[in-house]
Amino acid sequence: MDKFNRIRIYEFSPLILVFVQKISDRSIRLAFLKAIERYLFTFSLISSYYGVVPESLMHPNGLDFAIALNTNRMNGDKVIAVLVKILHLS
């Protein structure tokens, strides 16, 4: 988590922590991190264009996803699918 904090990915900190603990498959982890990277990149473009300043640095669903993943209500693939769907990247 220290490395993630260095690059300032605070929006998904709880979810990243749980995901890295629960999911050991490197390809799924990579897909997850790419989905987060796309989300953050898209958000940065939108916020810089419209001048939007987020009230909270944490993604509104990030904590819910982390809890669902930790309690086995979601798996890694489902979390990735939801993040991709949010951005309509599928």
- Structurally, how many domains does the chain consist of? 1
Eight-state DSSP code of residue 8: T
pLDDT tens-place values along the chain, 90 residues long: 566 666 667 677 888 889 989 999 999 999 998 888 887 787 777 777 777 655 544 566 778 888 899 999 999 999 888 888 876 654
Q: Is 32 exposed, middle or buried (0-12, 13-18, 19+ CB in 10 A)?
A: buried
Domain span including residue 59: 2-87
DSSP letter for each residue of 30-80: HHHHHHHHHHHHHHHHHHHHHT---S-SS-TTHHHHHHHHHTTSS-HHHHH
**Which CB contacts under 8 angstroms, 24+ apart, belong to 49-54?**
none
> Is the model's pTM score more than 0.85?
no
